[in-house]
């Protein structure tokens, strides 16, 4: 009879039976199920099982929190159910089948853009700052900007473009690289393909709309000519080119003999991909852009401009995600060249920036306890309010979808007010909240009203929908929705004390060896933070137990005291369990969701059953790889069993030195 025999049998029944399990795996603390029909799982009854500490659903996986003993539970469960466990990657792939086509597309887009988010956020803040110092005429009766009157700020304005250009003009390089990385093909070929899309030999993509067709340079092959157009800032063309390269490489790898594959595969993949990108993908992208531009101009000048404003305000944000929104610059420029010398298009763009920023602001409020999310939310919101929306769109709103839609609704309503009352701007380039400075003074009142709508409507809608749609994992603060296990842990601790007190005469109590241990040192150098601030719901809510978290400044986890290694997470090496004299048990978990990395970037120096000394290396990890995979490096030290320890104290708020700084102590 197994240790968890009763709970295993109950869980199989409550989860919908063997026939409802598509795949099952486990990490250091959780069972991860992919269910045929998630609705069949009786969540409340499952959380009531003695060995279950909570449940949640994420990315198509139904996760049941067990704790340090999850490996034992998993083995008993799979044996009883007659189910063969699968790898984490297989479970993740199976989970994708539970998603509809839109969810899969959004998931793919999210995985492609996740590695690019830090650069987009940085670039967005840089361009927003450039707008403030170089595009807004604060001085001399509204005729000069800060850069115009100060050489220092003029130099700063020019210098910052170095970063802005690298992020947004050269974005195709990052996109194609990310696609090859996600699809498991040769990343350097993706980088080279991306560079061919933004080569300085080509006409800059941002200049195409203002360049007469007769002046666009061409490659002349005698029988045909190909326009030498760059795709700076373009998303669709870059993605299409990236997938062309990926599938060409996979095709040739499959059919090419291994002995010549190193020569044939790169050549036969990259060269055709570059040709297709410049002869098929690019022209299609520009035709789509021209069509959209013509529709916009016709709508702005028609009798139905009020309706058009609603449609344009609704769709502008998705247009930004394609990179085709740059075509609106040509329309704006054309409108500014008319006798009126004004444009009614740019105000709608500024309002769309504000609306998407307001959705992010609501997400920031909803996720105020989710430190991991806030690292993206806050700078993305600032960037958006300064007129650069890519970080907000790709980093937050597209990820969850509903904030994007709520922002689109607010943008649509604000655009109707702006166009309906004929709001005009006398310049372009200043977006977001500072956009009001480009509006003709006589329209300030109306535009302020439109701005208010763009702020309030998306914020309220996102907040309301978010309270319903956001999972407990995303919210990291909805403690009432997760079954706490505090009472059970307290009972377990008292039972251990009673067992120790009632030990037969002559039998050593559990704490007899080294019972003088009263503290644990930090396992890493770095900033120690309260466990409540950990970027993972399970740990932050203390479902596994109390503890501390460390933002690492070193890469080798060291033993916090003399102890026995209970378990090292097989195959992934991202976590381990330790047992100390007196029975106290500690879980060390490196990063968040790092189980998904499959061990890449982790090296274990110990194995199950080893006895280690204080300061002895346990696990080495690569912070760059963890961050590149989209995960925080925050490392948790969780007391999962108190043993005979009492009055355990957690110490945080200081810079710790591994093996020297006390982070956990007890009587």
Question: Are the CB atoms for 328 and 349 separated by under 8 Å?
Answer: yes
Q: Are 248 and 192 in contact (CB under 8 A)?
A: no
Q: Is residue 284 part of a domain?
A: no
Which has the closest alpha carbon to 398: 354, 432, 363, 368? 363
Helix (H) / strand (E) containing 5: helix 5-14
- Report the pLDDT value the prediction gives residue 156, as an integer from 0 to 100: 95
Digit-coded pLDDT (tens) for 345-381: 889 988 999 999 999 999 999 988 887 778 788 888 9
State whether 603 and 565 are in the same domain. Answer: yes
- Candidate from 107-116, 430-439, 648-657 with smallest mean pLDDT: 107-116
Residue bearing tokens 């982070």: 663
Asked if 380 and 416 touch (Cβ cutoff 8 Å), the reply is no
Q: How far apart are CA 178 and CA 180, in angstroms?
A: 5
**Is residue 278 one of the residues assigned to a domain?**
no
Statement to judge: residues 428 and 570 lie in one domain: no
Estimate to the nearest angstrom the gap between the alpha carbon of 92 and the chain centroid. 17
Report whether 252 contacts 264 (CB < 8 A).
Answer: yes
User: Of 605, 604, 573, 611, nearest to 589 (Cα)?
Assistant: 573
Mean pLDDT of 440-460: 92
Instruction: Give the mean pLDDT of 222-250.
Output: 89
Q: Hey, what are 542's tokens?
A: 């203390």
103 band by pLDDT with thresholds 50, 70 and 90: low
Residue 368 sits in the same domain as residue 448: yes
Q: Is 517 found in the same domain as 645?
A: yes
- Which helix (H) or strand (E) element contains residue 23? strand 21-26
Report the residue count for the chain: 667
589 dihedral zone (left: phi>0; alpha: psi -120 to 50; beta): beta
Q: Are residues 430 and 492 in the same domain?
A: no
- Report the alpha-carbon distance of residue 663 to residue 667 in Å, rounded: 14
Q: Angle 362-363-369 (CA atoms, 0-180°, nearest 5)?
A: 115
- Which residues are 227's β-sheet partners? 218
How far apart CA 122 and CA 171 sit, in angstroms, is: 13
Q: Decide if pLDDT at 91 tops 90.
A: no
**pLDDT confidence of residue 625:** 87
pLDDT at 208: 80
Q: Is residue 576 included in any domain, yes or no?
A: yes
Q: Higher model confidence: residue 421 or residue 484?
A: 421
pLDDT of residue 611: 93
DSSP string, 632-657: ---EEEEEEE-TT--S-EE--SSEE-
CB atoms within 10 A of CB 218: 12
Band of the pLDDT at 578, cuts 50, 70, 90? very high
Rounded CA-CA distance 32/65 in Å is 9
Task: Quote the pLDDT of residue 505.
Answer: 45
User: Helix-strand-coil percent breakdown of the chain, rounded to 5?
Assistant: 55, 15, 30
Q: Is the pLDDT of residue 125 over 90?
A: no
Residue 272 pLDDT > 90? yes
- Does the pLDDT of residue 569 top 70, yes or no? yes
Using one digit for the tens of pLDDT, what is the confidence trace for 150-168? 999 999 999 998 988 888 7
DSSP 219: E
Question: In 10 A of CB 344, how many CB atoms?
Answer: 22
**Burial of residue 71 (number of CB atoms within 10 Å: 0-12, 13-18, 19+):** middle
In this structure, are residues 592 and 604 in contact, taking their beta carbons and an 8 Å threshold?
no
pLDDT, averaged across the chain: 82
Average pLDDT over residues 295-317: 84
Residue 49 domain flag: yes
SS (H, E, C) 273-290: HHHHHHHHHHHHHHHHHH
In this model, does residue 615 exceed pLDDT 60?
yes
Specify if 516 maps to a domain: yes
Q: Which residues pair with residue 564 across a beta bridge?
A: 579, 611
Phi and psi, residue 231, nearest 5°: -120, 40
Number of domains in the chain: 3
Q: Which two tokens stand for residue 448?
A: 């302020």
Q: What predicted TM-score, i.e. pTM, was given to this entire model? A: 0.52
Q: What is the pLDDT of residue 129?
A: 78
State residue 468's pLDDT score. Answer: 87
Do the Cβ atoms of 550 and 621 come closer than 8 Å? no
Same-domain pairing of 458 and 382? yes
539 located within any domain: yes
CB 68 within 8 A of CB 9: no
pLDDT tens for residues 243-256?
999 999 999 998 99
Q: What is the mean pLDDT of residues 423-440?
A: 77
Percentage with pLDDT > 90 across the chain: 37
Q: Is residue 561 assigned to a domain? A: yes
Residues 338 and 470 occupy one common structural domain: yes
Q: Which residues constitute the domain of residue 557?
A: 488-502+509-665
CATH number of the domain at 26, please: 3.30.1360.60
Within this chain, do residues 378 and 460 fall inside the same structural domain, yes or no?
A: yes
Tens digits of residue pLDDT in 511-544: 333 447 899 999 999 999 999 888 887 788 787 8
Residues with Cβ within 8 Å of 15's Cβ and at least 6 positions away in sequence, in order, are 21, 33, 35, 40, 41, 42, 46, 62
Q: State the pLDDT at residue 599.
A: 86
DSSP E strand boundaries for 441-598: 519-521, 526-530, 547-552, 556-558, 563-568, 575-579, 585-590
- Six token digits for residue 130: 């450039």
The predicted structure's pLDDT at residue 351: 94
Same domain, 468 and 498: no
Instruction: Find the helix or strand (DSSP H, E) in which 80 lies.
Output: helix 70-81
Q: 387: which residues sit within 8 A by CB, 6+ positions away?
A: 127, 128, 131, 350, 353, 430, 431, 432, 434, 435
Cα separation, 572 vs 595, in Å, equals: 6
Residues tagged active-site: 27
Assess whether 604 and 557 both reside in one domain: yes
Q: Is residue 471 scored above 80 in pLDDT?
A: no
> What is the CB neighbour count within 10 angstroms for residue 463?
18
DSSP 614: T
Whether pLDDT at 235 is above 90: no
Report angle CA 456, 460, 463 to the nearest 5 degrees: 140
Query: For position 524, what pLDDT does the model report?
Result: 95
Domain edge (last residue) among 82, 99, 116: 99
Domain with residue 568: its CATH number is 2.70.70.10
SS3 category, 144: strand
| Shared-domain flag, residues 375 and 421 | yes
User: Is the alpha carbon torsion for 559, 560, 561, 567 positive or negative?
Assistant: negative
**Mean per-residue pLDDT, 249-277:** 93
Query: Is residue 118 situated within a structural domain?
Result: no
Domain co-membership, 523 together with 600: yes
How many whole angstroms separate alpha carbon 371 and alpha carbon 403? 19
Stretch (H or E) spanning 21:
strand 21-26
């Amino acid at each position: 009879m197994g240790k968890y025999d009763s709970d295993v049998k109950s869980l199989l029944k409550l989860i919908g039976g063997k026939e409802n399990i598509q795949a099952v795996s486990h990490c250091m603390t959780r069972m991860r199920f992919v269910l045929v029909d998630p609705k069949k799982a009786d969540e409340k009854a499952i959380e009531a099982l003695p060995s279950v500490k909570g449940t949640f659903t994420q990315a198509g996986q139904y996760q049941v929190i067990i704790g340090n003993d999850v490996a034992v539970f998993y083995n008993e469960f799979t044996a009883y159910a007659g189910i063969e466990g699968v790898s984490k990657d297989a479970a993740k792939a199976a989970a994708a089948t539970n998603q509809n086509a839109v969810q899969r597309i959004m998931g793919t887009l999210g995985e492609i853009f996740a590695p690019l988010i830090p650069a987009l956020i940085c670039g967005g803040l840089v361009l927003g700052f450039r707008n403030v110092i170089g595009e807004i005429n604060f001085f001399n009766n509204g005729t000069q900007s800060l850069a115009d009157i100060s050489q220092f700020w003029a130099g700063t304005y020019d210098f910052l473009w170095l970063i802005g250009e690298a992020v947004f003009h050269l974005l195709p390089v990052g996109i194609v690289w990310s696609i090859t990385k996600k699809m498991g093909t040769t990343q350097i070929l993706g980088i080279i393909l991306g560079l061919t899309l933004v080569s300085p030999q080509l006409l800059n993509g941002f200049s195409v709309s203002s360049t007469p067709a007769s002046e666009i340079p061409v490659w002349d092959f005698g029988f045909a000519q190909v326009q030498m157009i760059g795709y700076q800032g373009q998303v669709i063309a870059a993605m299409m080119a990236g997938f062309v390269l990926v599938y060409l490489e996979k095709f040739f790898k499959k059919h090419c003999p291994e002995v010549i594959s190193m020569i044939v595969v790169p050549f036969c993949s990259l060269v055709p991909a570059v040709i297709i990108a410049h002869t098929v993908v690019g022209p299609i992208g520009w035709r789509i852009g021209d069509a959209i531009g013509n529709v916009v101009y016709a709508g702005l000048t028609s009798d139905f401009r009020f309706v058009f404003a609603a449609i344009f305000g609704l769709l502008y944000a998705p247009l930004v995600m394609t990179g085709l929104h740059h075509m609106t610059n040509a329309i704006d420029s054309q409108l500014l060249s008319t006798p009126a010398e004004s444009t009614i298009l740019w105000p709608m763009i500024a309002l769309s920036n504000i609306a998407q920023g307001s959705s992010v602001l609501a997400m920031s409020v909803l996720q105020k306890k989710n430190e991991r999310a806030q690292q993206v939310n806050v700078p993305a919101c600032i960037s958006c309010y300064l007129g650069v929306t890519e970080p907000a769109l790709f980093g937050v709103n597209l990820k969850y979808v509903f904030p994007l839609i709520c922002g689109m609704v607010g943008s649509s309503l604000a655009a109707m007010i702006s166009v309906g009352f004929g709001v005009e701007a006398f310049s372009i380039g200043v977006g977001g909240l500072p956009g009001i400075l480009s509006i003709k003074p006589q329209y300030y009142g109306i535009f302020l009203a439109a701005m208010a709508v763009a702020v309030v409507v998306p914020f309220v809608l996102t907040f309301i929908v978010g309270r319903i749609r956001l999972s407990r994992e995303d919210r990291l603060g909805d403690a009432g929705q997760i079954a706490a296990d505090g009472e059970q842990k307290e009972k377990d601790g008292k039972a251990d004390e009673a067992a120790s007190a009632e030990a037969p005469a002559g039998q050593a109590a559990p704490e007899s060896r080294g019972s003088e241990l009263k503290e644990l040192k930090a396992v890493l150098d770095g900033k120690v933070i309260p466990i409540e601030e950990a970027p993972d719901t399970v740990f932050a809510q203390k479902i596994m137990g109390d503890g501390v978290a460390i933002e690492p400044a070193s890469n080798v986890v060291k033993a916090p005291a003399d102890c026995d290694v209970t378990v090292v997470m097989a195959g992934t090496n991202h976590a381990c369990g330790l047992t100390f004299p007196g029975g106290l048990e500690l879980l060390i978990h490196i990063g968040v969701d790092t189980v998904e990395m499959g061990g890449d970037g982790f090296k274990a120096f110990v194995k199950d059953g080893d006895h280690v000394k204080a300061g002895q290396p346990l696990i080495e990890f690569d912070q760059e790889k963890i961050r590149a995979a989209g995960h925080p490096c925050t490392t948790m030290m969780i007391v999962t069993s108190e043993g005979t320890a009492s009055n355990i104290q957690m110490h945080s708020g200081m810079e710790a030195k591994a093996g020297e700084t006390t982070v956990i102590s007890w009587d």
